[in-house]
């Protein structure tokens, strides 16, 4: 049986198709202004027997495609577990939210913390700050690693932090130092979330922000341990949804 998982996120949509436990195909596209149209295009031509949706757009997908859904918490737990069998904690930082998830020995979610009420500590926050400093999102983390730790950003509100960054630029501060300070502020928030779920064992860092090398390095420094990053961290939710689709009666 071929099972598909689709993760309709705020910034991107991912699809994974599995047969047994073998990944047959993966696809990804920007969410854009019409997530359902983008989802339809991604699924065009794919062969699967059943599909399970997750992500912030899952309820729209459920109505339009008459498909069952699963929460991102469960999907990321299942996806991380199949990639790293001994994982106990998952950090997912996406475009519009961030999640810290603790799972038990059989992969079930024990506890989670989620920030989905503001852009603070999310990919959107880093995207706005990158643009304010004149960096591309791809270059932002690399350049931040070249900065010194002379600065600290006090505000995590995107609007106030942007104003703070603009003020620092006007004072002639090195933008790489500012970039590093911004990354450190996001890491502090992430570590606080992780501590609230009683972080144990291996930690998997998933979501689009896991592709940022500065975030990974600062997390490892703050936690004093290696952080496991999937080869394609944005696919973890869709992979988990595809795995859970196999369990549908």
110 sits in which H/E element: strand 109-115
Exposed, middle or buried by CB within 10 Å (0-12, 13-18, 19+), for 37?
exposed
Q: What is the pLDDT of residue 117?
A: 64
* Residue from 90, 5, 116, 123 nearest 54 by CA: 5
Q: How far apart (Å, rounded) are the C-alpha atoms in residues 143 and 163?
A: 21
Instruction: Mark 112-151 as b/e (b = at least 16 C-beta within 10 Å).
Output: bbebeeebbbbbbbbbbbbebbebebeebbebbeebeeeb
Q: What is the pLDDT of residue 194?
A: 94
Look at residue 77 and give its three-state secondary structure: helix
Determine how β-strand 202-206 pairs with β-strand 87-93: parallel
| Phi, psi (deg, nearest 5) at residue 8 | -95, 95
Using the 8-state DSSP alphabet, how is residue 224 labeled? T
Q: What is the pLDDT of residue 53?
A: 98
Beta partners for 203?
Answer: 89, 227
Q: What is the pLDDT of residue 107?
A: 79
Asked whether this chain's domains 1-84+231-249 and 86-229 adopt the same fold, the reply is: yes
As given in the structure block, the two tokens for residue 231 are 């080869």
Look at residue 6 and give its three-state secondary structure: strand
Which residues lie closer than 8 Å to 172 by C-beta, 6 or more apart?
Answer: none
Q: What is the pLDDT of residue 41?
A: 96
Determine how β-strand 98-103 pairs with β-strand 12-19: unpaired
Q: What is the mean pLDDT of each run of 10 residues along the chain (249 residues)?
A: 95 95 95 94 96 95 96 95 94 91 88 80 90 95 94 82 91 96 93 88 94 97 96 97 92
Task: Classify domain 1-84+231-249 at the CATH superfamily level.
Answer: ATPase, nucleotide binding domain (3.30.420.40)
Q: What is the pLDDT of residue 152?
A: 87
For 86-229, CATH number out of 3.30.700.30, 3.30.420.40, 3.40.50.1980, 3.50.50.60 equals: 3.30.420.40
Edge-to-edge strands of the sheet including 12-19?
A: 22-30, 12-19, 2-8, 50-54
Q: What is the pLDDT of residue 116?
A: 65
Domain residue ranges of the chain, discontinuous segments joined by +: 1-84+231-249, 86-229
């Amino acid at each position: 049986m071929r099972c598909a998982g689709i993760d309709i996120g705020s910034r991107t949509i991912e699809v994974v198709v599995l047969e047994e436990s073998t990944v047959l195909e993966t696809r990804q596209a920007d969410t854009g202004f019409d997530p359902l149209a983008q989802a339809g295009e991604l699924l065009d031509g794919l062969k699967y027997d059943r599909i399970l949706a997750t992500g912030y757009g899952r309820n729209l997908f459920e109505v339009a495609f008459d498909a069952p859904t699963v929460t991102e918490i469960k999907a990321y737990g299942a996806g991380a577990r199949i990639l790293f069998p001994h994982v106990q904690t998952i950090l997912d930082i996406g475009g519009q939210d961030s999640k810290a998830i603790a799972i038990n020995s059989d992969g079930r979610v024990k506890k989670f913390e989620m920030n989905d009420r503001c852009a603070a500590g999310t990919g959107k926050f880093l995207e706005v700050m990158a643009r304010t400093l004149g960096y591309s999102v791809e270059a932002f983390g690399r350049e931040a690693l070249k900065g010194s730790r002379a600065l600290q950003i006090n505000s995590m509100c995107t609007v106030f932090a942007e104003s703070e960054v603009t003020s620092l630029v006007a004072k002639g501060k090195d933008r790489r130092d500012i970039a590093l300070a911004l990354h450190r502020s996001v890491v502090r928030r992430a570590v606080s979330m992780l501590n609230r779920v009683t972080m144990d064992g291996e930690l998997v860092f998933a979501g689009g922000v896991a592709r940022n090398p500065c975030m990974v390095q600062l997390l490892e420094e703050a936690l004093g341990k290696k952080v496991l990053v999937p080869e394609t961290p944005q696919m973890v939710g869709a992979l988990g949804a595809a795995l859970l689709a196999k369990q549908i009666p």
